[in-house]
Every structure is written in C-alpha cells, then in structure tokens.
Amino acid sequence: MQRLFLLFFPFLFLATGLSAQDYVTENELPKRLQKRFDAAKKQYVAQQADVAAVTVKKILEREPRFIDGWLFYADLLLQEGQYQGSEEGFQKAVDMAPAYAPLAYYWLATAEMQVGQFAEAEKHLTQFLGFADVDGKYKVRAERLLEDAEFAS
C-alpha cells in the first residue's frame, strides 16, 4: 500500500499544482497590504493618482501576484497618460488570469493603440469581444476601436 501511495503521490502533487490559482485577489492579501491598498484607493478618490500609483507599485513589489493591484495600477497609469506602463500592467493581469477581468483586454488594447501596437490591439479587442458578458457600451467602443486598429495596421 505504501508503494502505491509513493507511485501516485507525484501525480497528486501535479494535479493540485495545476488547479491552484496563480494570482491573489484583494480579499486574499495579508491585512497589512489590504490596508495599504485601501489607502491607495482613497488617494485616488482624493485626486492623488500619482501618489496612489506609488503606493500600489510598492504593494506589487511585495506581492507580484496581486491581480487587482495590477489592474488598478495599470488603470492609474492609463489615466495619467503613461501608456507603456499601463500596457505592461494590463498584460500582466491578463497573463495571470485570462478570464478574471474581461474588460482588461479592452483597456490593454486602448493602451496599445496609444503606443502604436495596432496588431496587438486587434488581438486583444477580438479576445474582449469573444467574452459572452461584454457590456453593450464597451462592445460598441471595442468594435470602433477594432476598426481603427485594423485600419492602422
């Protein structure tokens, strides 16, 4: 019996590892980092997006698998016109969990359009439009942006 366990133990480990979530959400952060993230959101509301971005960046240095942090950070950079950094942040988020936040594909494509990555924008807009639960407002915007990306590339 012990031999049988030793034979199947590696497969058990592999199955567990493959099904494990490879990202951390806001609710799964340690309390100390959750407080910092709450502070960053308050900084944003107080019109201090640059300060909020620094706060979130420090959190991401401590917990690079924090998907909500990457989404918030990328959004802050997008709003500040820092398109390259925004593109990188959204890309990290969609790489971590492709279906976690479908709207991230739209914002990723928006940043890519700003830095001239039209083919990548086309790809990400097509992925975004492929999700079943796309909000009507963003669907129309994405279709227009896709036309622009196709024309530009």
Q: Which residue has the higher pLDDT, 58 or 8?
A: 58
Give the model's pLDDT for residue 105.
Answer: 97
Q: Which residue has the higher pLDDT, 129 or 20?
A: 129
Give the model's pLDDT for residue 21.
Answer: 81
Confidence of residue 153 (pLDDT cuts 50, 70, 90): confident
Query: Which range is least confidently modeled, 14-18, 55-59, 95-99, 116-120?
Result: 14-18
Give the model's pLDDT for residue 9.
Answer: 36
Average pLDDT score over residue span 96-102: 96
Give the model's pLDDT for residue 1.
Answer: 41
**pLDDT, the chain, mean:** 88
Taking the CA of residue 10 as centre, how many other CA atoms within 13 Å lie in the half-sphere pointing to its CB?
3
Average pLDDT score over residue span 116-120: 97
In tens, the pLDDT along 4-53 reads: 333 333 333 333 334 468 999 999 999 999 999 999 999 999 999 999 99
pTM for the full model? 0.84
Q: What are phi and psi of 80, to 5 degrees?
A: -85, 0
